[in-house]
Structure 1
Amino acid sequence: MPAAASRIRAISVAGDDLAVRVSTDEDPAEDAPILLPSLGEYPVYGDFSYEYMIADKLRTDAYRAAVRALAPGKVVLDIGTGQDALWAVTAANAGAARVYAIEVIPEAADQARRTVEAAGLAGKITILDGLSAEIELPERVDVLVSEIIGAIGGSEGAEYVLDDARRRFLKPGGDSIPHRCVTTVAAVDTSTVLPDGELAFSPLFLPDLEQIFASVGHPFDLRLCLLGLDQAEFLSPRAEVEELRFTAPMAGNGTDRVELPVTKAGRLHGLALGIRLWITGEEDQPIDSLAQQTSWCPIYVPLSLEGIAVARGDRITLELRRSLSDDGVHPDYELTGRILRAGRSTVDISWHSPHHGTTFRGSAPYRLLFPAQD
């Protein structure tokens, strides 16, 4: 589906105006392609973000069923409870003995307390605000619930945070919701959703963009999400990287190497990153954000505005490295690789994506999104 035309708008960053290319479509259709900043890694969740997650029936139904099955009679910990304390309230109503709920955003924690009080559950649910790694609980818990899985599985700090929670809070043999996550990657041709390389943010998300830059202190080449990708745009199967098992030790860093066979001729504009998420166990059907429409928006890695010609039988070798950023919680990602094309030149590709980097307008796609002001 063609993207809407674009124009330039200004946002404020540290008191200075910053030019941003945005779509002219102020109210896009439900299935229209939408480019937005990746939100979950930063403390910027507003009402729209919470409503969008709760409206994700695939996500909420799976979590609700798991919490209701595992919570009765148990001590439950909900990390990243959010302003609605949704899973804390669900666990308490399902018969949990006690529920602890942690929220790092102070305003959301205050609203969560009001939500719990309004539900008449203040005697059963304890809201704690701050980073879970800096909080002590009076007891170990039977069930650990979290929704800090990112659009890239570990991007919201799940690997560090949940490994710490497993070690300090979860009883041996306790349950984790979710159980396991892998990040997936595939090559994509975005000619139909971003014709002529027309990258432009949805104006709906300009306030979030301002808040992200304000939280970091400066503009940078942040991760992008692209809603509206269809399987028709995929030039390769999906490969799995970054495996996270939440009831086992996790290293906090790692390197994964995969090869993507090109199965359809086209122009490779970039890569799509998503997740497969098993809520309670391996027997589950995983939620798959590159195959299903969920509130985990696919990450779009733009590599070429005009696209790189590929043919069936070509190969893409990729190496994805992750390591903790200097905040000790969120990972930095680096992706390198080569497009091996029969009868044509090999193309090297790279994408460096720190959680809060200093590079700004470092490549052509970002120079298009954030045009320099005269």
Structure 2
Amino acid sequence: MNSLAPIALLSFLALTNGFSTIRQSEGRFTTSPSFLAGVPSRSHQFVSSNAILTMKVEDDEIGRLPLNGDLEKRIKCNEEEDTSSFISRRLALRRFATISAVTAATVSSSTSPFMPSVALAATDEDLEKKVHISASWKAVDGLNSLDKENNFVSFDLSAYKAMVGDASRTPFFEKAIIQRLNSVPGGPESQVVLDLGTGPFAFFAILAAQAGAGKVYAIEASKEAAKSARVAVKQAGFEDVIEIVEGFSTEITLPQKVDFAVAEIIGSVATEEGAYGTILDAHNRFLKEPNKASNWIPSRIQTYAAPASYTLHNLFQPPAFDWTKLNGEPVRFNCRDEGLQLLSDPQLVEDILFADITNSKYAKTGNMELKFVIDEDRIKDNQLTLFEEFRKNRLGKGEAEKMAKSTGQSLSGIALWPRLLLDGDEKIQVNSRSYPNGGHQKSHWQTVLPIMAATPVSIKGGDEVIVNVDFDVPSDVLRPPSYKLDGEVVRT
């Protein structure tokens, strides 16, 4: 058993300024905003009821490390936010490479309170035939962007900029909007358009107006975003075409019905931003022909899932780090982050057709069971990728091999991410991860990973991961969706 890796990391974190400064507000510990290197995330701020260690993202995941015991006491909770105190996973690994030069004898003789009871769970765990895994959370859990007056997920300006600047998203929406406007005999000027959740830039509303739409109703629930949207519309010169309507769409009555709707209200779990309730209401009240797929952009939204391994879950172990303190609250990753690796082919877990919204809850009943088979080839590929990642971060070859093997042969939870089909023919697609294999790629959306076991579960090729899915997606937009995954790893 090699205990050097986690001990060195924990010692480094305890004895340096590696702890992020955390501001306590209203009884909760809130971290400063962080950005994904070149890819700000859709929802990138976090809240937790427990003290946590937050690691800034630099082409990596937003890591959240729950502290326990004496470690928790060492966190300084200041009144002011301090983004300079964040450290990245990459930086932690690089500093670990230096610290790992300390001899094993010296480290093992330490009486430090940071000494873990296990080193790498994937290698030390007793191999039971079946291992229970579970996680449950609400859509707003861990999102500091939760509007404090209204129980829904909202965003700051940087997140909106990330959405607009996402080259894997925005050009495809533009194509779908222009295509839809030009598809009718009367031309674009005959079309009345609805933009649900227009945001501070009224981006899609202005795009529709520029493409010739006769009238655009742009609804925005956030007061500040609606105010900014009016400024954007005025600056663009479309005040006569675009009407900004402030409030929840479910509480608004439009003066006329619309020809088609644009609704980019899709979360990293597709339904987490209230898409189901919003579209259900719009379907019943706003569209002239709501049952036509071509009258919705997107026309269909999906969430895919796959079992995954996670580097930090392997590196940071009890008793110093207690992952159960997250209470199911998921870790959110940059979709390019190699610290998360999929262990089998993805499967569909949410599938909602806007034109047939009443029959598209898909997973709400809790009767869905997913069965994944761990792919040995993926494990091998993942281990190679992880080894290269560890070597880039200056770990010695031997240590990198051990870490890559341990992480690659472990399961931390079920990863989730969204996919959007924009047009009625489903030819214009937006993928946050590559389709259909779930590979890494650039996106402002995140990959969501609920940690489903206190320590990583060791796995091998051919093992089965059987998970019952219970997603409660309410029609009331003021009640956040809740998600539960419960199952077991069955070793073959």
Q: Does residue 190 of the first structure (1) align with residue 298 of the second (2)?
A: no
Q: Is contact 1:38-1:222 (8 Å) kept?
A: no
**Alignment partner of 1:162 out of 279, 286, 299:** 279
Counterpart of 1:241 in structure 2: which amino acid?
V
Q: Is contact 1:196-1:305 (8 Å) kept?
A: no
Distance 1:52 1:269 in 2: 28
Q: TM-score, normalised by structure 2?
A: 0.59
- Aligned-pair CA distance for 1:198: 7.7
Counterpart of 1:49 in structure 2: which amino acid?
A
- Aligned-pair CA distance for 1:143: 1.1
Other-structure match for 1:128: 245
Which structure shows the higher strand fraction?
A: 1
**Alignment partner of 1:295 out of 431, 439, 444:** 444
Q: Does residue 318 of the first structure (1) align with residue 459 of the second (2)?
A: no
Other-structure match for 1:108: 225
Q: Does residue 244 of the first structure (1) align with residue 352 of the second (2)?
A: yes
Which structure shows the higher helix fraction?
A: 2
Other-structure match for 1:334: 484
Distance 2:339 2:22 in 1: 34
Distance 1:247 1:262 in 2: 35
Q: Is contact 1:146-1:178 (8 Å) kept?
A: yes
Q: Does residue 53 of the first structure (1) align with residue 170 of the second (2)?
A: no
- Aligned-pair CA distance for 1:7: 1.3
**Alignment partner of 1:225 out of 332, 352, 370:** 332
- Aligned-pair CA distance for 1:328: 4.8
Other-structure match for 1:356: none
Instruction: Tell me the SS of whatever aligns to 1:114.
Output: helix
Distance 1:84 1:128 in 2: 14
Distance 1:198 1:80 in 2: 41
Counterpart of 1:21 in structure 2: which amino acid?
L
Other-structure match for 2:429: 286
Distance 1:229 1:9 in 2: 24
Instruction: Tell me the SS of whatever aligns to 1:335.
Output: strand
Q: Identify if the C-alpha distance between structure 1 residues 198 and 86 changes in structure 2 by more than 3 Å, giving closer, same or farther.
A: farther
Distance 2:340 2:327 in 1: 31
1:94-136 deviations in Å (ceiling 9; x for gaps): 0001000000110000110111111111111010111101100
Instruction: Tell me the SS of whatever aligns to 1:171.
Output: coil
**Which protein has the larger Cα radius of gyration, Structure 1 or Structure 2?**
2
Distance 2:468 2:298 in 1: 26
Q: Identify if the C-alpha distance between structure 1 residues 106 and 148 changes in structure 2 by more than 3 Å, giving closer, same or farther.
A: same
Distance 1:98 1:53 in 2: 24
Range moving further from structure 2, 93-102 or 320-329: 320-329
Matched residue count: 317
Distance 1:110 1:232 in 2: 39
Counterpart of 1:22 in structure 2: which amino acid?
T
Q: Does residue 257 of the first structure (1) align with residue 406 of the second (2)?
A: no
1:325-368 deviations in Å (ceiling 9; x for gaps): 676543111111111111xxxxxxxxxxxxxxxxxxxxxxxxxx
Q: Is contact 2:20-2:53 (8 Å) kept?
A: yes
Unaligned residue ranges in structure 1 (runs of 5+): 200-218, 343-374
Percent pairwise identity: 29
1:13-36 deviations in Å (ceiling 9; x for gaps): 21666733122x5xx53x233347
Instruction: Tell me the SS of whatever aligns to 1:89.
Output: helix
Q: Does residue 82 of the first structure (1) align with residue 199 of the second (2)?
A: yes
Instruction: Tell me the SS of whatever aligns to 2:461.
Output: coil
Distance 2:60 2:351 in 1: 31
- Aligned-pair CA distance for 1:254: 3.3
- RMSD over aligned CA atoms reads 2.8
Other-structure match for 1:358: none
